[in-house]
């Protein structure tokens, strides 16, 4: 099999100069380093309130010494929309800027340079706002732009819905503004109007027409398949209100594509969702949750999670879930739709309302309405009154959802297996008043030490009052690493903007307020620190092994832009890249890449026999404090396709095609996987040398378990042309149960690879 394995690998790594670019792209657990845009509410159409590529901020540098308020940007009016962020926007006559976009209740839209305190790059006002008097909205004095806009970065357009008062009446308009100039485009603006088939009182000729003055446009906008979707609810359940979802052509906003009425024969069923945007999946389905109103499971959809098929143009309900106590909820004003849904990558929908009960639904079989609600995947009393917002971190292997109830702490619920634990595994050391929090998780890929839960709270019990921005360890909420009241004279936030998530982007936190300003936080100083050393394949911390490819996470470790490995003509990997060195017991290690927040290195063989090793990073002659970790003979980790250390392994089938659910291996065939952490090799393999004949093989025995059975090993040794990586060719056992997620475990000596790695077998 020597010829087979070499042919397979050399087809992947055929040019020596491309070896490490391929390694970076396909094997090492590092994000690309590209800056991140925030184009829609809640960080994407899944509405998770999580940004997974924050490479600057982490639990080491967010503290009262290094982190705080950088500046604030004054605006006209309250900000209830989440700020949006686009990098590298060319502004005519003003150069190229990273831009933060801010919309206010005074109907102002601003484009600010995201990195400096300066006058707006541009500013437009979209008309006189509607006075809030008489609308039963206690904490607002005017209603203009309430919802979070949405940006199409392919056309450079920001879509905004403004509420204006004209001739003593309320009018909603959809605007399409150029993100570089603020000028109207694509036929904007257009007055939002529409009608739908209905038997409601007030219908004419079988159609019921939308009346702007009866409705509040609270949910964030959704851009899906070149259509802008706009959802409406009520002014605190007053007047003749219904739930509406309207679609407009993103390329010509004068063209309305659809109108959907949630209570065609009844009343209510608002879509308000605490301001969260409608969810959309990869098939183009939309998910919304409604509040108080009529329900009949046919045309009236109060207190329901709805799945809407948009393939035919007009949204059509194809599935739904309605709790069996919907009437009681309606009587008590306990809206199921107080918080918008969250979509997970595992095919579930998470929903919860004022009751504090969390529901996990199968999006392929939501269950409709059944006595006992036994059709749901999971349903439990998570918190007391008030799920108005949530954040969901799809942490590899164990996702977490974050919630807070009225007069309570922030609580974290961890998923084990396929269900959430019904008791919080962690909670904050503080409590707050009204559960009007904004929430967001920031994390740098698989680096769990970097994960922060950002929460804005108020201690007030009846209105949106003075706010505090909190930064909590996302894995242990009892560890509050910073808040804006620690140094209130410097970092004070102002009044809370209810329900609105802070926007974390590229090292800064943009927080809207009801104090007529956007407050911007970031690093005041930057120190060189090491936070963790992890296996580059598994992403797990712990002991290191000789020759293991590891990632050192921290801050101030290298240049801001990713710098890749340097290999000389003799195939030796450099120990100094862009001024960065990593020292294990003062011995410089070969480097695969470096960046300010992380460095990939190969553990020197000289650590063999040591119980512990100290790790230190030098950058431009300045050293970090030392970090200590233990040493093991082997620490195997299998590389995975998505670089998280979980799920589909980075594996080839016998024909050298990638192993995927759509391209499974056959039983009895040969598959190839890659790993690191193999320990010492025979013949000796210098850690800085690209592998070549004779290919070194681990001194410790190698075994692979596939689907619960030990596989025949045809080759286990160095991956040709790579350093720190081994290749294993194994024969898929005939007797295993086929499937798309067959577990794979690698054993080298006494060490086992991480759980949760799978392959597809037919």
CA atoms of 550 and 535, how far apart (whole Å): 5
Query: Is the pLDDT reported for residue 30 higher than 70?
Result: no
**pLDDT reported for residue 31:** 43
CA atoms of 529 and 261, how far apart (whole Å): 55
- Residue 639, both tokens: 């590389």
* N-term to C-term CA, the chain: 23
Query: Is the pLDDT reported for residue 82 higher than 70?
Result: yes
The H or E element that residue 652 is part of is strand 651-652
Instruction: Work out the pLDDT band at 407, boundaries 50, 70, 90.
Output: very high
E strands in 53-156: 67-74, 84-91, 95-103, 108-113, 122-125, 130-131, 142-143, 150-152
CA atoms of 162 and 145, how far apart (whole Å): 5
SS3 at position 737: coil
- Asked if 426 and 477 touch (Cβ cutoff 8 Å), the reply is yes
Measured between alpha carbons, how far is residue 175 from residues 230, 270, 551 in Å?
A: 12, 23, 46
Query: Is the pLDDT reported for residue 545 higher than 90?
Result: yes
Segment 5-21 shows an average pLDDT of 34
Measured between alpha carbons, how far is residue 414 from residues 310, 392, 422 in Å?
A: 33, 10, 9
Query: Is the pLDDT reported for residue 263 higher than 60?
Result: yes
Beta-sheet pairing, 438-444 with 447-458: antiparallel
Nearest to 752 by CA among 681, 693, 678: 678
User: Residue 189, preceding bond cis, omega within 30 degrees?
Assistant: yes
pLDDT tens string 556-611: 899 988 999 899 988 899 999 999 999 999 999 999 999 988 999 999 999 999 99
CATH 2.60.40.10 domain position(s) in the chain: 2-11+635-761, 529-630
Query: Is the pLDDT reported for residue 644 higher than 90?
Result: no
Instruction: Work out the pLDDT band at 24, boundaries 50, 70, 90.
Output: very low
Q: Which residues of 413-431 are buried (b: 16+ CB within 10 A; e: fewer)?
A: bbbeeeebeeebbbbbebe
Please state, as a whole number, how many other Cβ atoms lie within 10 Å of the Cβ of residue 144.
29
Q: Range with the lowest mean pLDDT among 4-13, 64-73, 274-283, 474-483?
A: 4-13
CA atoms of 593 and 616, how far apart (whole Å): 16
Q: What are phi and psi of 17, to 5 degrees?
A: -70, -20
CA atoms of 165 and 169, how far apart (whole Å): 5
Segment 65-76 shows an average pLDDT of 95
Instruction: Work out the pLDDT band at 35, boundaries 50, 70, 90.
Output: low
**pLDDT reported for residue 351:** 97
Segment 161-179 shows an average pLDDT of 96
Instruction: Please tell me what DSSP assigns to residue 277.
Output: P
- Residue 292, both tokens: 């108080």
pLDDT tens string 98-135: 999 999 999 999 999 999 999 999 999 999 999 988 77
pLDDT tens string 362-395: 999 999 998 888 789 999 999 999 999 999 999 9
Measured between alpha carbons, how far is residue 34 from residues 27, 54, 83 in Å?
A: 18, 10, 20
**pLDDT reported for residue 464:** 76
**pLDDT reported for residue 560:** 87
- % of residues, the chain, pLDDT over 90: 82
Query: Is the pLDDT reported for residue 16 higher than 60?
Result: no
- Residue 18, both tokens: 């491309």
CA atoms of 226 and 325, how far apart (whole Å): 38
Q: Range with the lowest mean pLDDT among 32-46, 221-235, 425-439, 720-734?
A: 32-46
**pLDDT reported for residue 33:** 45
Segment 503-531 shows an average pLDDT of 93
Nearest to 125 by CA among 185, 184, 54: 184
CA atoms of 472 and 205, how far apart (whole Å): 56
**pLDDT reported for residue 417:** 83
- Asked if 518 and 73 touch (Cβ cutoff 8 Å), the reply is yes
CA atoms of 90 and 96, how far apart (whole Å): 4
Q: What is the mean pLDDT of the chain?
A: 92
CATH architecture of 529-630: Sandwich (2.60)
Segment 61-84 shows an average pLDDT of 96
SS3 at position 346: coil
| Angle subtended at Cα 572 by Cα 568 and Cα 574, rounded to the nearest 5 degrees | 80
Measured between alpha carbons, how far is residue 404 from residues 32, 408, 427, 675 in Å?
A: 34, 6, 9, 41
SS3 at position 394: coil
Q: Range with the lowest mean pLDDT among 23-32, 677-686, 739-748?
A: 23-32
- Asked if 685 and 547 touch (Cβ cutoff 8 Å), the reply is yes
Q: What is the CATH number of domain 2-11+635-761?
A: 2.60.40.10
Helices (H), 13-80: 19-26
Nearest to 355 by CA among 313, 388, 309, 317: 388
Residue 93 CA to its chain's centroid (Å) = 35
CA atoms of 233 and 210, how far apart (whole Å): 11
- Residue 410, both tokens: 């922030």
CA atoms of 247 and 268, how far apart (whole Å): 20
Beta-sheet pairing, 438-444 with 50-51: parallel
The H or E element that residue 760 is part of is strand 757-761
Nearest to 243 by CA among 196, 203, 281: 196
SS3 at position 330: helix
- % of residues, the chain, pLDDT over 70: 95
**pLDDT reported for residue 539:** 86
Residue 203 CB burial class (10 angstroms; 0-12, 13-18, ≥19): middle
- Asked if 591 and 579 touch (Cβ cutoff 8 Å), the reply is no
Query: Is the pLDDT reported for residue 4 higher than 60?
Result: no
């Amino acid at each position: 099999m020597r010829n087979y394995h070499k042919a397979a690998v050399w087809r992947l790594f055929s040019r020596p100069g491309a070896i490490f670019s391929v390694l970076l792209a396909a094997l090492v657990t590092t994000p690309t380093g590209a800056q991140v845009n925030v184009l829609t509410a809640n960080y994407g159409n899944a509405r998770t309130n999580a940004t997974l590529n924050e490479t600057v901020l982490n639990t080491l540098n967010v503290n009262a010494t290094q982190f705080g308020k950088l500046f604030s940007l004054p605006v006209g009016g309250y900000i209830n929309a989440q700020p949006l962020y686009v990098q590298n926007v060319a502004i005519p006559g003003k150069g190229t800027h990273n831009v933060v976009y801010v919309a206010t209740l005074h109907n102002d839209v601003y484009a600010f340079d995201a990195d400096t305190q300066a006058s707006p790059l541009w500013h437009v006002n979209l008309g006189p706002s509607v006075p809030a008097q008489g609308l039963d909205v206690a904490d607002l004095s005017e209603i203009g732009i309430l919802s979070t806009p949405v940006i199409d970065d392919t056309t450079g357009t920001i879509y905004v819905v403004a509420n204006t008062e004209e001739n003593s009446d309320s009018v909603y308009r959809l605007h399409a503004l150029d993100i570089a100039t603020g000028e109207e485009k694509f036929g904007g603006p257009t007055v939002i109007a529409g009608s739908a088939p209905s038997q409601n009182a007030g219908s004419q000729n079988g159609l019921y027409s939308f009346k702007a003055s009866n409705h509040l446009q609270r949910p964030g906008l959704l851009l899906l398949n070149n259509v802008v979707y706009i959802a409406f609810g009520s002014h605190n359940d007053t007047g003749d209100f219904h739930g509406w979802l309207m679609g407009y052509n993103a390329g010509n906003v004068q063209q309305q594509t659809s109108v959907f009425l949630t209570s065609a024969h009844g009343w209510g069923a608002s879509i308000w969702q605490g301001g969260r945007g409608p969810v959309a999946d990869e098939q183009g389905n939309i998910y919304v949750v409604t509040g108080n109103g009529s329900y009949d499971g046919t045309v009236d959809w109060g207190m329901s999670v709805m799945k809407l098929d948009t393939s035919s143009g007009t949204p059509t309900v194809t599935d739904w879930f309605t709790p069996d106590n919907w009437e009681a909820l309606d009587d008590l004003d306990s809206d199921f739709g107080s918080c918008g849904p969250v979509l997970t990558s595992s095919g579930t929908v998470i929903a919860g309302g004022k009751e504090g009960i969390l529901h996990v639904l199968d999006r392929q079989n939501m269950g409709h309405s059944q006595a006992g609600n036994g059709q749901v995947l999971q349903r439990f009393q998570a918190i007391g009154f008030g799920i108005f917002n949530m954040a969901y971190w799809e942490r590899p292997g164990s996702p977490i959802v974050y919630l807070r109830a009225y007069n309570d702490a922030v609580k974290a619920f961890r998923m084990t297996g396929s269900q959430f634990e019904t008791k919080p595994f962690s909670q904050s050391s503080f409590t707050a008043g009204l559960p009007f929090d904004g929430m967001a998780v920031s994390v740098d890929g698989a680096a769990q030490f970097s994960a922060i839960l950002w929460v804005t709270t108020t201690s007030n019990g009846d209105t949106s009052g003075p706010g505090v921005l909190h930064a909590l360890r996302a894995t242990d909420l009892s560890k509050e690493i910073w808040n804006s009241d620690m140094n209130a004279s410097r970092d004070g936030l102002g009044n809370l903007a209810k329900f609105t998530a802070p926007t974390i982007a590229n090292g800064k936190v943009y927080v809207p307020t009801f104090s007529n300003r956007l407050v911007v936080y970031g690093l005041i100083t930057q120190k060189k620190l090491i936070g963790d050393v992890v296996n580059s394949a598994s992403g797990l911390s712990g002991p290191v092994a000789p020759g293991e490819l590891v990632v050192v996470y921290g801050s101030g470790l290298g240049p801001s832009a990713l710098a890749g490995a340097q290999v000389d003509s003799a195939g030796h990997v450099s120990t100094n890249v862009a001024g960065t060195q990593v020292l294990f017991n003062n011995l410089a290690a070969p480097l695969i890449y470096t960046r300010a927040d992380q460095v990939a290195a190969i553990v020197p063989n000289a650590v063999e026999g040591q119980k512990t090793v100290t790790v230190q990073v030098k950058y431009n002659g300045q050293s970090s404090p030392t970090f200590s970790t233990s040493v093991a003979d082997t620490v195997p980790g299998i590389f995975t396709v998505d670089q998280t250390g979980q799920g589909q392994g980075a594996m080839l089938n016998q024909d050298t095609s990638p192993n995927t659910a759509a391209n499974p291996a056959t039983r009895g065939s040969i598959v190839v996987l890659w790993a690191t952490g193999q320990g010492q090799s025979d013949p000796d393999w210098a850690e800085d040398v690209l592998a070549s004949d004779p290919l070194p093989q681990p001194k410790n025995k190698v075994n692979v378990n596939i689907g619960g059975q030990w596989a025949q090993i045809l080759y286990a040794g160095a991956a040709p042309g790579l350093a720190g990586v081994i290749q294993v060719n194994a024969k898929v056992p005939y007797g295993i149960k086929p499937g798309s997620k067959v577990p794979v475990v690698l054993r080298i000596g006494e060490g086992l690879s991480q759980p949760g790695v799978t392959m597809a077998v037919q």
